[in-house]
Structure 1
Amino acid sequence: MSVVARQSFKYSVVGYLGFLLGTFSAIFVFPHDMEFYGKLRYVLPTAEMLLPVVVFGLSFSNVKFFNQTHQDGKHQNFLSLSLLGILLNFIIFLIGYFAVNLLFPKLQETEMWQMKRLILPLILVLAFSAVFNKYLSNFKRIVVPNIFENLIPKIANLGAFCLFFFIGFPEKAAYLFFIGMFILGLFGYIYYTNRLEKLKPDFSTEYIKKDNLWKEVLNYSFYGFLGNIGNFIAVRIDSVMIGEFLGFEPNGVYNTLYSIISLITVPAMGLYSISAPIINKHLAENDYEELDRLHKKSSLILFFLGLVLLSCVLVGFPYLTHFIKNGELLRQSEPVIWVLGFAMLFDLATGFNGHIISLSKYYRFNIVVMLFLAVTTVLLNIYFLKNTNLELFGIAIATAISLTLFNIAKIVFNYIKFGVFPLTIEMMYALIIGTLGITVAVIMPEFKSSFLNLFYKPGVVLLMFFVGNYFLKIFPLEEYINRNFLKSLFKF
């Protein structure tokens, strides 16, 4: 097995382990104290939302210019200057941050200001880590960085929560552990990088000044910054705004619900990475007909599997809350599950829309729509929080609207430029089966035991999907369960 294959397999294993750990913690551990969990889920997203300002695309530049700098023997010089640039950016950011808060004293009443001793150091640690993460990808080493990037935050959240709630440590000690895990991750990055290649700090500026390379780097980094800040704002703003406007307990509730509904995205975890080189090949050969076929097939698979999981979650959720501490808080916000669930399902139905754009010569369009998504999400969140009493339901609606508009924009763009379209009539057939399955499961009688209902209701949904798929042939189930497939799987 090649290095790439081994790394990809291990990467997927780490990704799924991280997902399972995060989901288990969100359902069975964190609900014991929604307020403290809400604080943890406020600190990290806030730091990540501000992170692009400090990184300023330098992490991406360490990938873009690696081959050039490596051939010239100056890749470590480029890395050293990137880290120095991060430090200088952070100092400028600090000056600006404190200046703005002093000029506008009202800002000092926000949670962001109150928790600055946690958020600001975390930004610096995450910024350095981001550079090392991308730098290591040049060596086709993605597994260890994935551990630091995906597992460390989950262990930090879980460990800090357990120290505070179950062991009885004060909040400060729990926060110290939380920050300490990320610092440990940064040292892990440094150690692993040094193992691959002895680190030799070099802060000379002669190379970067040659042929005005610094201008090219600055230009590319700026585009990376725009795309990154749009992405982080769009993805993290919910937790930040809920923490500011509604409080930490609602933030804990929302993030728990989000973790539960994220189950439907599991089938997509490996597919996008696998598809990238194939998409790149079709684009390079201008084989848009084959790209369209692949796009439709993969989108249908993701949609069908996501719909099956979503339908099971929707009918089983009310009974799952009986086994979760403070489950009544989650039950009160059940509409959030429905709204976010169908928004994520439509996202799955659009397949690898963003990958097609990112890998094409029109990659800058992704930056535009990402910024559009960020601005739309912020404005809609503010509207629903200030002008309605919908609270978490309003946040979910805002997220669903902005995510749907984001995906529609990419669908239209890809259809105009490449003639590819992800949606198919089979998706409508699947949606009809899902609607029937959910309806039948809901109206069927309940047992007195919530445990039985938790399996019985989703079981009805699965049966409906199996029967419907048997006659309509939407999902090629036989390809995945025939003897030859199983035999080859076990042989592998």
Structure 2
Amino acid sequence: MSVVARQGFKYSVIGYLGFLLGTFSAIFVFPHDMEFYGKLRYVLPTAEMLLPIVVFGLSFSNVKFFTKTHDDGKHQNFLSLSLLGIIFNFSLFVLGYVAVNFLFPELRNTEMWQMKRLILPLILVLAFSTVFNKYLSNFKRIVIPNIFENLLPKIANLGAFCLFFFIGLPEKAAYLFFIGMFVVGLFGYIYYANRLEKLKPDFSTDYIKKDGLWKDVLNYSFYGFLGNIGNFIAVRIDSVMIGEFLGFEPNGVYNTLYSIISLITVPAMGLYSISAPIINRHIANNEFEELDRLHKKSSLVLFFLGFVLLSCVLVGFPYLTHFIKNGELLRQSEPVIWVLGFAMLFDLATGFNGHIISLSKYYRFNIVVMLFLALTTVSLNIYFLKNTNLELFGIAIATAISLTLFNIAKIVFNYIKFGVFPLTIEMIYALIIGTLGITVSVLLPDFEKSLLNLFYKPGIVLVMFFVGNYFLKIFPIEEYINRNFLKSLFRF
């Protein structure tokens, strides 16, 4: 089994483990104290949203220029200067952050300012970690970095919450554990990088000045910064704005609902990484008909499986809340599940639209639409929070509109430039089956026991999908359950 295959398999295992841990915690642990969970879910997303300003694309540059710097024996010099650049950027950021808050005193009333002693150190730790994460990917080592990047934050959230709620330690002690886990992750990155190749700090600027390399690095880093900040704002802004405008308890409720509905994205976790080399080959060879076929097939698989999971979640959610602490808070915001669910489903239906653009010569377009997504999300969130009483439902609508427009823009662009289109008639058939399944399940009478309903209602949906698929042949189930395929899962 090759290094890439082994790392890919282990990466997937860690990814699913992290997802299961996060989902279990969000459903059965964090609802015990929505307010404190909301605080945790405010601190990290806020730090991540501001992170690109400090990193400024240096993490991406450590991948882009690695081959050249490695061949010249200067890759560690480049890494050292990148880390020095992080310190310089962070210093400027802190000065600017403090200056802005003193020039505009009203900003000092925000939660972002009140929690600066948590957010600012976390930004610095995450910035260093991000650079090391990308640097290690050059050695085709992605498993250990994935533990630090995806699993450790979930352990930090869970551990801090348990220390505060179940053990009874003060908030400050829980926050110290929370930040400490990310510090442990940073030292883990450094230790692992040193194991792969002994680190030798080199802060000489002679190499970077040679032939104007610094200009190329600055230019590439700037584009990485634009795309990254757009992505982080678009993805993290919900938690930040809910915490500022509505409070920490609603933020805890929203993030719990988001964790539940994220279940439908599980089928996509490994597909995009697996498809990337194939997409790259088709684009390089101008095989756009093959790319279109691959695009349609993978999009249909993601849509079908995602809709099956979404339908089960929608009909089972009301009964699941009976087994969740403070489940009535979640039940009151049930429309959020529906709006976010169908927005995510459409995202799955568009497949690897973004990957096609990123791997082509038009990669800069992704930056444009990502910034558009960020601005649209922020604007709509502000509108719904200030001009309506919809609260969390309004946030969900804003996110759904932004995500849908974002995907439509990529669909149109890819169709014009490459002639590829992800949507198919089979998706309409699946939509009809799913709608019928949800409708029938909702209309059928309930049992007195919520546990029975929790399995009975989604079971009806699954039967409807199975019967409908049997006659319409939408999803080739036989390809995924035959003996040879099952054997291949255990073949290395």
TM-score if structure 1 supplies the norm length? 1.00
What does the per-residue CA deviation read over 1:112-144, in whole Å, with 9 as the maximum and x for residues that have no partner? Answer: 000000000000000000000000000000000
Q: Structure 1 residue 482: deviation in Å? A: 1.8
Task: Give, in whole Å, the separation in 1 of the partners of 2:235 and 2:480.
Answer: 34
Task: Give, in whole Å, the separation in 1 of the partners of 2:59 and 2:490.
Answer: 40
- CA change 1:59–1:491 in 2 (3 A) is closer
What does the per-residue CA deviation read over 1:139-173, in whole Å, with 9 as the maximum and x for residues that have no partner? Answer: 00000000000011000000000000000000000
Task: Give, in whole Å, the separation in 1 of the partners of 2:402 and 2:54.
Answer: 26
- CA change 1:468–1:106 in 2 (3 A) is same
Q: Structure 1 residue 241: deviation in Å? A: 0.0
1:226-305, aligned counterparts within 5 Å? 226-305=226-305
What does the per-residue CA deviation read over 1:63-95, in whole Å, with 9 as the maximum and x for residues that have no partner? Answer: 000000000000000000000000000000000
Task: Give, in whole Å, the separation in 1 of the partners of 2:194 and 2:137.
Answer: 14
Q: Structure 1 residue 483: deviation in Å? A: 2.6
Moved over 2 A (4+): 483-492
Q: How many residues align?
A: 492
- CA change 1:487–1:212 in 2 (3 A) is closer
Q: Structure 1 residue 397: deviation in Å? A: 0.0
What does the per-residue CA deviation read over 1:407-439, in whole Å, with 9 as the maximum and x for residues that have no partner? Answer: 000000000000000000000000000000000
TM-score if structure 2 supplies the norm length? 1.00
Q: Secondary structure at the match of 1:266?
A: helix
Q: Structure 1 residue 487: deviation in Å? A: 3.7
Query: Equivalent pairs: percent with the same residue?
Result: 90
Task: Give, in whole Å, the separation in 2 of the partners of 1:484 and 1:259.
Answer: 34
Which structure 2 segments of 5+ residues have no match? none
Q: Structure 1 residue 490: deviation in Å? A: 4.7
1:147-226, aligned counterparts within 5 Å? 147-226=147-226
Task: Give, in whole Å, the separation in 1 of the partners of 2:123 and 2:265.
Answer: 28
Q: Structure 1 residue 491: deviation in Å? A: 5.3
Task: Give, in whole Å, the separation in 2 of the partners of 1:186 and 1:293.
Answer: 42
Q: Structure 1 residue 486: deviation in Å? A: 2.6
**CA RMSD between the two structures:** 0.6
What does the per-residue CA deviation read over 1:254-283, in whole Å, with 9 as the maximum and x for residues that have no partner? Answer: 000000000000000000000000000000
What does the per-residue CA deviation read over 1:466-492, in whole Å, with 9 as the maximum and x for residues that have no partner? Answer: 000000000000111123323444555
Q: Secondary structure at the match of 2:270?
A: helix
Which structure 1 segments of 5+ residues have no match? none
Say whether 1:436 aligns with 2:436.
yes
Question: What is the match of residue 416 of structure 1?
Answer: 416
Question: What is the match of residue 427 of structure 2?
Answer: 427
Question: What is the match of residue 312 of structure 2?
Answer: 312
Task: Give, in whole Å, the separation in 1 of the partners of 2:43 and 2:299.
Answer: 35
Task: Give, in whole Å, the separation in 2 of the partners of 1:224 and 1:47.
Answer: 18
Q: Structure 1 residue 310: deviation in Å? A: 0.1
What does the per-residue CA deviation read over 1:188-213, in whole Å, with 9 as the maximum and x for residues that have no partner? Answer: 00000000000000000000000010
- CA change 1:490–1:91 in 2 (3 A) is closer
Task: Give, in whole Å, the separation in 1 of the partners of 2:481 and 2:217.
Answer: 50
Q: Structure 1 residue 34: deviation in Å? A: 0.1
Task: Give, in whole Å, the separation in 2 of the partners of 1:78 and 1:223.
Answer: 18
Task: Give, in whole Å, the separation in 1 of the partners of 2:423 and 2:485.
Answer: 28
Q: Secondary structure at the match of 1:258?
A: helix
Task: Give, in whole Å, the separation in 1 of the partners of 2:123 and 2:440.
Answer: 49
Say whether 1:491 aligns with 2:485.
no
Question: What is the match of residue 464 of structure 1?
Answer: 464
Question: What is the match of residue 371 of structure 2?
Answer: 371
Q: Secondary structure at the match of 1:228?
A: helix
Task: Give, in whole Å, the separation in 2 of the partners of 1:488 and 1:243.
Answer: 47
- CA change 1:490–1:58 in 2 (3 A) is closer
Task: Give, in whole Å, the separation in 2 of the partners of 1:104 and 1:147.
Answer: 40
- CA change 1:40–1:71 in 2 (3 A) is same
Question: What is the match of residue 57 of structure 1?
Answer: 57
Task: Give, in whole Å, the separation in 2 of the partners of 1:40 and 1:7.
Answer: 31
Question: What is the match of residue 448 of structure 2?
Answer: 448
Q: Secondary structure at the match of 2:257?
A: helix
1:4-23, aligned counterparts within 5 Å? 4-23=4-23
Q: Secondary structure at the match of 1:490?
A: coil
What does the per-residue CA deviation read over 1:86-114, in whole Å, with 9 as the maximum and x for residues that have no partner? Answer: 00000000000000000000000000000
